[in-house]
Amino acid sequence: MPVSIVVGGQFGSEGKGKVALEVVRADATVAAVVRVGGTNSGHTSVGRDGRVHALRQIPAGSTDGEVLTVLPPGAYIDLEIFDKEVKELGLTQEKVAISQYARVITADHKEWERASRLNAQIGSTESGTGAAVLAMVGRGAASLKLQSVQAGDVASLAPFVKEDTTGMLRAILDNGKRVVIEGTQGFGLSILQGGHWPKVTSRDTTAAGFLSEAGLSPRDVDDVILVIRCHPIRVAGDSGPLYQETTWEAVATGAGLTSWTPELTTVTKRIRRVGMFDPFLVRRAIDANRPDRIVLNHLDYVDAAVLQGTLTRKAEAFVHYVETEIRHRIDYVGVGPSEMIKTKKERVVT
């Protein structure tokens, strides 16, 4: 069986974690979930017991603990966060595989980001991920006072470290099982493709970038899932352009939400900036990722009535507007923290 890649189509926080977990639960052939990138973004999932998990290191698709969790060469690991989340989800050593070539985020990396004032300049979360990327690319240059640490050299990770995670994943695929790659952040934050440099992240956040970080071949992929939201967000501060920026109060009023609070970022707990739907950005994300399926999340921010589980006329009109503008069918809509609704098959996008 091939590979599914879950990728964000805007600036992150599109609900990729919810979608990745739904893919795992809906497909019994899924045997492993791969989490690339670092801890500068969070994925939220809801366990079968109703408990909400805000995960920054372990993929949300691993919430139920029934599949193998893989942190490949393109993962950046915060030891404290990793340990906390493994314990939170009750994952055993047999259920976690870390590439010996994955990188470790150190205290020096975090301090470098704080001292660099990147938070004020680009809205950085100061997680140390960007500095860890910089240290790796620097390759020990004498002029760069940052060291790159491999997971294979850290004693506390030894029970989880594997010599060849690519070989493990290849064996899973050759055995007829599916692998899910859970991407981080969103297309608009890609350092290569997003178009908003320097107000971007330190990595390429496209499906192709995630696949490379996972260590697998393009020939393996048969399912790219693009996740978007009705009102895209950016992190607080001077984090870059946001189409028709508005307020959470305006969004809630327009949707008829009687009980609401502003969204906070998973990492920094600051109020997210929010804007109106930007078709141009999503069309570019579609061009770069060529998705097989698209999920439109947070439809309850358009009409609160959809929280009852059915699409209202107002919600349907918004979905039609999005489909028309991006020239692509919406396959699922997301409502609330965990629910996904399949759209009507007979709707044709022209």
Looking at the domain assignment, is residue 214 inside a domain?
Answer: yes
Assess whether 75 and 167 both reside in one domain.
yes
Instruction: Give the domain CATH number at 177.
Output: 3.40.440.10
Which tens digit of pLDDT belongs to each residue from 41-53? 889 999 999 999 9
Q: What is the pLDDT of residue 57?
A: 97
Distance CA 46, CA 235 (A): 23
User: Final residue of a domain: which of 226, 260, 283?
Assistant: 226
Assess whether 169 and 78 both reside in one domain.
yes
Looking at the domain assignment, is residue 131 inside a domain?
Answer: no
Domain containing residue 180: 3-102+158-226
Assess whether 8 and 56 both reside in one domain.
yes
Looking at the domain assignment, is residue 140 inside a domain?
Answer: no
Looking at the domain assignment, is residue 324 inside a domain?
Answer: yes
Looking at the domain assignment, is residue 149 inside a domain?
Answer: no
Assess whether 182 and 249 both reside in one domain.
no
pLDDT band at 122, cuts 50/70/90? low
Q: What is the pLDDT of residue 34?
A: 98
Assess whether 7 and 68 both reside in one domain.
yes
Looking at the domain assignment, is residue 86 inside a domain?
Answer: yes
Percent of the chain with pLDDT strictly greater than 70:
97
Assess whether 202 and 303 both reside in one domain.
no
Assess whether 218 and 270 both reside in one domain.
no
Looking at the domain assignment, is residue 40 inside a domain?
Answer: yes
Q: Which residues of 29-63 are buried (b: 16+ CB within 10 A; e: fewer)?
A: ebbbbbbbbbbbbbbbbbeeeeeebebbbbbbbbb
Looking at the structure of the chain, the number of domains it has is: 2
Q: What is the pLDDT of residue 49?
A: 92
Q: What CA–CA distances, in Å, run from 71 to 96, 102, 165, 327, 341?
A: 8, 7, 8, 35, 30
Which tens digit of pLDDT belongs to each residue from 234-284? 988 888 999 999 999 999 999 999 888 899 877 778 899 999 999 999 999
User: Mean pLDDT across the chain, nearest whole number?
Assistant: 93
Assess whether 314 and 209 both reside in one domain.
no
Instruction: Give pTM, 2 decimals.
Output: 0.93
Q: What is the pLDDT of residue 309?
A: 78
Percent of the chain with pLDDT strictly greater than 90:
81
Which tens digit of pLDDT belongs to each residue from 68-117? 999 999 999 999 999 999 999 999 999 999 999 999 999 999 999 888 87
Assess whether 51 and 171 both reside in one domain.
yes
Q: Are 197 and 239 in contact (CB under 8 A)?
A: no
Sign of the torsion angle spanned by Cα atoms 227, 233, 236, 237:
positive
Which tens digit of pLDDT belongs to each residue from 135-167? 999 998 989 989 999 999 999 999 999 999 999
Looking at the domain assignment, is residue 128 inside a domain?
Answer: no
198 compared with 348, residue with greater pLDDT: 198
Q: Would you tell me how many other CB atoms lie within 10 Å of the CB of residue 319?
A: 21
Assess whether 97 and 176 both reside in one domain.
yes
User: Final residue of a domain: which of 206, 226, 246?
Assistant: 226
User: Final residue of a domain: which of 226, 250, 285?
Assistant: 226
Instruction: Give the domain CATH number at 333.
Output: 3.90.170.10
Assess whether 282 and 215 both reside in one domain.
no
Q: What CA–CA distances, in Å, run from 54 to 1, 187, 269?
A: 29, 21, 12
Assess whether 52 and 186 both reside in one domain.
yes
Residues 6 or more apart whose Cβ sits within 8 Å of residue 113: 119, 124, 126, 127, 128, 130, 131
